[in-house]
Amino acid sequence: AQTVTQSQPEMSVQEAETVTLSCTYDTSESDYYLFWYKQPPSRQMILVIRQEAYKQQNATENRFSVNFQKAAKSFSLKISDSQLGDAAMYFCAILDGNYQLIWGAGTKLIIKP
């Protein structure tokens, strides 16, 4: 069975600084997809970034980038130049062989002004 672990229930960062949210996973698949979703207080689920496991290059979307370590099964999210609007729950997820998303427990990100 696939699992996703987010070991940081809560992280805080000063506005304009950089923060890294960690995620590890377990899967027996050789090809899969990994995602980071953001859930602001409105509780909407917003896709932040996705990574295909067969691609070695780390995905980047503006201030958001990932450090994907396939051998270590690690998929951390780096947020540069943190902004107040980045405050949210962040969920790491893996797409399993049945095309279902398996979710981590989430990390609450607090931005200090």
Partner 1 sequence: EPEVTQTPSHQVTQMGQEVILRCVPISNHLYFYWYRQILGQKVEFLVSFYNNEISEKSEIFDDQFSVERPDGSNFTLKIRSTKLEDSAMYFCASRRTGDEGYTFGSGTRLTVV
* Residues at the contact surface with partner 1, assessed by CB under 8 A: 33, 35, 37, 42-47, 50, 52, 91, 93, 98-106
Q: Which is nearer to partner 1, 102 or 111 (CB)?
A: 102
Q: Which is nearer to partner 1, 19 or 106 (CB)?
A: 106
For residue 27, give the nearest of 64, 65, 75 by alpha carbon.
75
Q: Which is nearer to partner 1, 25 or 91 (CB)?
A: 91
Minimum CB distance to partner 1, residue 109 (Å): 16
Q: Please state, as a whole number, how many other Cβ atoms lie within 10 Å of the Cβ of residue 21.
A: 23
- CA angle, residues 100, 105, 111, in degrees to nearest 5: 120
